[in-house]
Structure 1
Amino acid sequence: MSDETLPPCPERSEPYTYEQGSLLVCPMCGHEWSPEDTGGDAADAPVIRDAVGNVLVDGDAVTIAKDLKLKGAGGGTLKAGTKVRSIRLDPFGPDGHDIDAQVPGFGRMHLKSSVVKKVS
């Protein structure tokens, strides 16, 4: 395989892939995979955008764009401006909630990408 044909990392979409023996390696995140494993999930996953149209990726930091009333045992309100770090995208999450995150003061929850803004 020549350098021009090496696929980007399926975990982080980094273009710096290199070969190490029979595996492909991403130097940015350390992910290793077989060239035969590159055909599917990362390329087929839908693009998830925030409330203003920025593309989101796993590990991004976002802020809540508007106050959210929480349902469930705890209830309460998640205030606009709350910063959430290291999000995980879940395009097939429950009821359109496509972000899985650890929200400070509230714990793990699913959020909709339409109510967050990416932090630059």
Structure 2
Amino acid sequence: MSTPCPQCTLENTYVDGANHVCADCGFEWPLAGDEAAVDSLAVRDSNGNVLADGDTVVVIKDLKVKGSSIPLKQGTVIKHIRLVPDDAEHIEGNSDKIKGLVLKTCFLRKA
């Protein structure tokens, strides 16, 4: 039993890699739907926890900050983070001493 095409509603479809393909109209859509695309862009901390806008994170090791003589020490809290669109490896946020930080998620854990 094949999945009907969302565009032309005919059931003449087949699986090609990670997509369904309609043989009649040529339309392609992902196997798992939109959930797989959303999950692939999920921003995760160093422990694998999903991060969202407004979360609070903690720095897990001392980091040198470009353009500043003040290092970001282990245990520093970054409140009200913002996710970077289309980039699952970086977040934006502010510490108490340094504003406008862009940090890699591999050096953070969810508080």
| Superposition map of 1:1-120 within 5 A | 43=38, 46-72=41-67, 74-92=68-86, 98-119=90-111
Greater C-alpha radius of gyration: 2
Cα drift, residue 45 of structure 1:
7.3
Cα shift readout 1:83-103 (whole Å, capped 9, x = no counterpart): 11110110445xx76101011
CA RMSD of aligned residues (A): 2.3
Larger helix proportion of the pair: 1
TM-score (norm 2): 0.60
Divergent runs of 4+, >4 A = 42-45
1-structure distance, mates of 2:94, 2:83: 12
Total equivalences in the alignment: 76
Q: 1:80 to 1:49 in 2, by over 3 A?
A: same
TM-score (norm 1): 0.55
5+ residue gaps, structure 1: 1-38
